[in-house]
Amino acid sequence: MPIDGLALAGVFLVLVIVTVAVGVKTVPQGSKYVVQRLGKFHRTLGPGLNIIFPYIDSVAYKVTTKDIVLDIPSQEVITRDNAVIIANAVAYINIVSPEKAVYGVEDYNIAIQNLVQTSLRSIVGEMDLDDALSNRDAIKAKLKGAISDDIADWGITLKTVEIQDINPSPTMQHAMEEQAAAERSRRATVTRAEGEKSAAILEAEGRLEASRRDAEATVVLAEASQTAIQKVTEAIQNNELPVMFLLGERYVEAMKDMSTSQNSKLVVLPGDIPAAVRGIMGSLGK
């Protein structure tokens, strides 16, 4: 065979090999290939061995069918009561129609991130600070419902979306700490005032009860003294000797107490105690 014929056969063989290589496509599991024919969408290749028309068809996009995790950056959000909080989220998506995902939007990752951020600002903006911090599940449900229909037009399904962090801004957190400290101080002051009030009331009630008991005791003693005097009067009648004896005994005891007192310097005793007692009785009789 002439050399030119061998060269031509070799070129033909190489061309066949290249053509086969270009026309046969092996798609790995978890991926899909978007094929264009002469610059126009033709079909989507699934996992496995696929044949395309060489030089006319080409693989334009390789799209994963696995779940994709999109980290939504943190952003400042203003609540309905004008409080500033910082929130971020994470979204789990799955591409079910690769041709819609690549032809329906320029970059579906950036588009979904912006959509989640915008929806999150809108949802939190309709809530008060306390509700936004405590109702993550409500925010998650509203957020999922807000963006599911939009990304469905791009052939993408939203599996779930989670709120990672939602916290007050540093300035707002400092203000909340000061407010909480002021509230604790106010409660402590109220509790202390109520305790002092209760103690004062109990003390006043104690003094009132003591005064009432003292008055009752005085009345009882006065009644006892009156009864004793009546009995003594009935007993002695006109006999002054027993009375003189009792008064003399009391008089001696009084002089004894005066003599033992630290303040007494001189104690004077009458020479005639009976006469002194009679004088006392005389003064009592008048």
Task: Note whether 24 and 116 are same-domain residues.
Answer: no
Rounded CA-CA distance 133/43 in Å is 47
Pairwise pLDDT comparison (177 vs 68), residue with the higher score: 68
Domain annotation covers residue 97: yes
pLDDT at 235 > cutoff 50: yes
For residue 286, the 8-state DSSP code is -
* C-alpha of 188 from chain center: 19
Task: Note whether 161 and 212 are same-domain residues.
Answer: no
Q: Please count the structural domains in the chain.
A: 4
Percent of the chain with pLDDT over 90: 26
pLDDT single digits (tens) 79-110: 888 888 899 999 999 999 999 999 988 899 99
Q: What is the dihedral of CA 151, 157, 162, 165, to 10 degrees?
A: -40
Q: Mean pLDDT, to the nearest integer, of 105-119?
A: 92
Domain annotation covers residue 4: no
State which H helix or E strand residue 138 sits in: helix 136-152
Is the distance from CB of 76 to CB of 169 less than 8 angstroms?
Answer: yes
Task: Note whether 81 and 170 are same-domain residues.
Answer: yes
Minimum mean pLDDT range among 32-36, 47-51, 154-158, 243-247: 243-247
3 state SS of 96: coil
Task: Note whether 223 and 250 are same-domain residues.
Answer: no
For residue 28, the 8-state DSSP code is P
**pLDDT value of position 67:** 92
**pLDDT value of position 240:** 57
Domain that holds residue 251: 238-286
Domain annotation covers residue 108: yes
pTM of the model: 0.57
Domain annotation covers residue 51: yes
Task: Note whether 205 and 132 are same-domain residues.
Answer: no
**pLDDT value of position 116:** 92
